[in-house]
Amino acid sequence: MPHPAFKITLRISLILSILLSGFFVSSVASADTFEFDFVKPPGSRDKSPDATLDEDDDLFPLRRMAREYRSLGAEAQGGGNYQVAMSFYQRAVYADPLYATAYNDLGITAEALGNIVAAEEAYKMAIMVDPGYLGAYFNLASLYQGQRKFEEAATYWEKRIDLGDPNDPWTERASGRLNDVYYALGKDIDVVQENKAVDLALDISAQKELMRADDLEAAKVYLGRARGHYQRDELAEAFRDGISAMQLDPRNEEISEFVEKIQLRLLTK
């Protein structure tokens, strides 16, 4: 029985196929315009991270087929036959509607052929099925920047940078493109980065406050347990729970005094 997410995503991929049916040929961008994953030749196993296959999976044959279609699409695309490449990428997402790489490829082909609406939808699908798929963020940001939708472009450039490795050349490219977008928006890059740093500090502070509140509640629980042990003359257990309470709330004088009381009792036994 197919997973519900599989059926839902399949419906969306069918919608994409309708959007893609109106492709027309236009100028094709240079190879370094898009961020994508390289593929193995047709007939070989695709070892890219998103292509890990589990042979025990009920959908294994379809997922294996999807990667074969993707390889054929890449071969056609490499030869400049974008219409054929498009059809293979469509078959790939039909076979495996959760295949983010194929959606990204589909978006690249759509954009190269001039179908901007389909390209946007395909990139968004890649992100939806795999929020960690970096190439789709780069390509979608680039698409929006080309349309002069600078606010949307900035959003996806920032996500690509935040999720990426700082030493990755594509992350460095994204940083450069984001600077261009900030300039177009009339924003000072240093001010933007400073504001992001402030926001991050506030988020961290808020998280610390939440953790602090949790620690205080836990400290009360340990103190109550320590008091119970003390009343039953279980001094070792009382001391252990008292120390735990003190570690969670080191500024609490009541806890510190009670731990000292336990220590004195232990010393005089």
State the SS3 of 71-96.
Answer: HHHHHHHHCCCHHHHHHHHHHHHHHC
- Token match 């509140």: residue? 213
> What CATH number has the domain spanning 192-268?
1.25.40
For every one of its 269 residues, what pLDDT tens digit does the chain have, with 9 covering 90 and above?
A: 444 444 444 445 444 444 444 433 333 344 456 666 654 333 333 334 444 566 555 567 888 999 999 999 999 999 999 999 999 999 999 889 889 999 999 999 999 999 999 999 999 999 999 999 999 999 999 999 999 998 999 999 999 999 999 899 989 998 889 888 888 888 765 555 555 555 445 555 566 566 667 788 888 888 899 899 888 888 878 888 888 888 888 888 888 888 888 888 877 76
Structural contact between residues 59 and 83, judged by C-beta atoms closer than 8 angstroms: no
- Provide the residue ranges of all domains of the chain, joining segments of one domain with +: 4-188, 192-268
Give 4-188's CATH code, choosing from 1.25.40.10, 3.40.50.170, 3.40.50.300, 3.40.50.10800. Answer: 1.25.40.10
Q: How far apart are CA 222 and CA 249, in angstroms?
A: 10
Identical fold, 4-188 and 192-268 = yes
